[in-house]
Amino acid sequence: MNGTDLWALSPLLAVAITLVVVLLMAAFVRRHAAVTAVTYIGLLLALAALAPAAARAPRTVTPLLIVDHYTLFFGGLILLATLATAA
């Protein structure tokens, strides 16, 4: 795996990092407003990461993981739906 693969995976990595941070905040900070803010910021960063990933698409990261324009489009739809329902 090289740097181009990491850029292609950056939306997924942003969501994964946000998930870990939100879970840790929910366990230790226990302030709903702060957890919600971090959730929105992480999802917006993941949406912003779609543009650099699209510049490197199509990319075969592993034989079972291909990042192409369809993957990024539907990932963007899922991120927008998550932003709409996160509260």
- The percentage of residues in the chain with a pLDDT greater than 70, rounded to a whole number, is 99
- Cα angle 53-60-83, degrees, rounded to a multiple of 5: 35
Say what the pTM is: 0.87
> What is the overall mean pLDDT for the chain?
91
**One-letter amino acid for residue 35 of the chain:** V
- Residue 79 token pair: 């991120």
The residue among 6 and 43 whose pLDDT is bigger is 43
**Percentages (nearest 5) of helix, strand, coil residues in the chain:** 75, 10, 15
Contact, 50 vs 83, CB < 8 A? no
Predicted confidence band of residue 13 (pLDDT cuts 50, 70, 90): very high
Q: How confident is the model at residue 51 (pLDDT cuts 50, 70, 90)?
A: very high
